[in-house]
Each structure stands twice: as C-alpha cells, then as structure tokens.
Structure 1
C-alpha cells in the first residue's frame, strides 16, 4: 500500500497529466505525451506499485479506450485537431487513460470497496472531465444529450468495474505465490 505522500503525489500528478494530455491535442503532440505517460507509468510501477501491477494498468487503459472508441464511432464523441489515424481515438486520449489507470490503486484505492459511491462519483466527475475538455476545444460532444448520457453511463459503470478489477488483482497477488 502506498504511503500518504505517494497518494498525494499520485493525485496531483494525475491532474497535471490531464492538463498535459488535453493541451497536447491542439499542437498535435499526442505521440510526445503518450511517450511521456508511458515513461511515467514505468516509474510508477518501479517506485509506487510493482511491475506485477502492469496488467491491470493495461486492462484499464484498454477498456477505457474501447469505450471511448465506441462513443467516437457512434458519433457521440469527436476530437478536434485529430489528424493521426482519424478512424481511432487520438494518442493523447490513450495517454490520458493510461495516466488515469495509475490512480486506481493509489489515490483512488479508498474507493475499491465502495462500488455505489464509485458509480456516483464516476457518473459525476467523468462527464465533468469531458465537458472541461470540450470547453478547452479539444473534444466535442456533438449530440449533447446522447453524448453526455453516454459519458455519464460509461463512467458510472466503468469506475466501479475498474476499481473492482484492481481490488481482485490485489487480492490475487496477496494470496498467490511470491
């Protein structure tokens, strides 16, 4: 379990990663921010968790990317300044999901056993992040009611699911061979 200083560091660093990912969209620096977040993830695994926790980080990133890809494909989410591989979500969004994955077992660990609270908080703060990105003109929620409904449901479902995955993974590690 991470110490309080790592919990605070993890929370603050995610806020900085959110801004870095969002601000990298306009100048087309998705590759750069993705590489930086991958490097930060390696440092995170080395110093805070352990390399045995790489799998749930990848699962979180993949699941989040799949859900945003569905919304993007259905036209409920669009990305401005998106020129690299336009059939897929942009690299900065993949980086953002990877950065988010590093919070689930550190600064958000306290939510792992609180599924209903996680759903409520996910359903509230997930859409706020997307609305914030829309205000910064890097994403668009074109069909505002459907788009916002999708993001709200996505986060109300995915937040408890991802926290449950992390909790189960932690339990498996604690009972499995060393």
Structure 2
C-alpha cells in the first residue's frame, strides 16, 4: 500500500508541475492544483503534520525564488512571484515527506538529484512559462546547480521537522 502511495505522489508531482508551468499561459490549468492538493491532504495519514510541512517548504521555496528574482536570475512578470510559481512550490512541498523524503536521508543522492533536476526543471519551466533568464540559459543552469544541490536535501529535512 505504501509503494502505491509513493508512486501516486510521484505522479502527482509530475502532473502538478505541468499544470503549474502550462498554467502560466493557460490560467485555467492552475485550478487543478488546489484540487490536487486537497486530494493529497485528504489521503495523508497525518493531516496536521502534512499541512505544517507544506507551509514550511512552500514558504521557504517562495522565499528562495523571490531572492533569485530580485538578484536578476529570473525575470518574472509579477512580484514577488507569479501565482503559477508559488503554486508550484506547494506541489513540490507535497512530495517532500513522501516520494522525495529520501532526499533528506541520503544527502549525496538528494544533492545529486537537486544539482541536475532543479536546474533542468527551471530552464524547461522558464521556456514553457515565458520566464526571462537574463543571465542566459546555460549560466542560469550552472548557477542553480549548487543552489539546488543544497536546497533539495534541506527542503526534505525541513518537511520532516517535527511539528510543534
């Protein structure tokens, strides 16, 4: 049963990423994200712990992307973040205690996935969502590699922090 949950969560992360990124140009797709998050929360065994983890990770992620936007790494059409990107952080947060939990336990694997997966998701998402990369595509990707090598394991650990 647990493996089915992890697979379903991983599929949700993929579907949610596409809904958010394509929702930048087709806003009606963004309506799918709160629905998906509601289903996710309904299926979680510990609603309170999951809700707190979602808030912690989503806020940390929004802060990270806002800082990167202010530093000129990204050119957003909204300040501090476009809605689709803020929702994307909620989607990512919903996997941190589940299909991505291993990233906080095996730091080197989490860092490796973050170093390559994070920049690829950003560069691909920027192209689809019409986000400017003022530094250039390659430069942005290279800059994001160490950021995400640190961020993914730390976000996973943040999600796993005990609820107060």
TM-score, normalization: structure 2? 0.87
Shift of 1:72: 0.9
SS at match of 1:75: coil
Shift of 1:40: 2.2
CA contact (8 A) 2:22 2:129 kept: no
Tell me, in whole angstroms, the C-alpha distance in 1 between the residues paired with 2:102 and 2:153. Answer: 12
Q: Which residue of 1 aligns with 2:105?
A: 113
Shift of 1:146: 5.0
The count of aligned residue pairs is: 162
Tell me, in whole angstroms, the C-alpha distance in 2 between the residues paired with 1:112 and 1:76. Answer: 26
Shift of 1:117: 1.5
CA contact (8 A) 1:67 1:154 kept: no
Tell me, in whole angstroms, the C-alpha distance in 2 between the residues paired with 1:135 and 1:38. Answer: 24
Q: Which residue of 1 aligns with 2:38?
A: 42
Which protein shows a greater Rg? 1
TM-score, normalization: structure 1? 0.81
Q: Which residue of 2 aligns with 1:7?
A: 6
- Listed one character per residue, the Cα deviations across residues 3-31 of structure 1 (whole Å, up to 9, x for unaligned) are 1111111111111111111111124x17x
- Listed one character per residue, the Cα deviations across residues 54-89 of structure 1 (whole Å, up to 9, x for unaligned) are 11111110111111101111111123xx3xxx2221
Q: Which residue of 2 aligns with 1:65?
A: 62
Q: CA RMSD in A?
A: 2.1
Please, which runs of 5 or more residues in structure 2 have no aligned partner? Answer: none
Shift of 1:137: 4.9
Shift of 1:154: 2.3
SS at match of 1:136: helix
Tell me: CA distance 1:152–1:17, structure 2 relative to 1, closer, same or farther (3 Å): same
Please, which runs of 5 or more residues in structure 1 have no aligned partner? Answer: 174-178
Shift of 1:147: 2.7
Tell me, in whole angstroms, the C-alpha distance in 1 between the residues paired with 2:69 and 2:45. Answer: 32
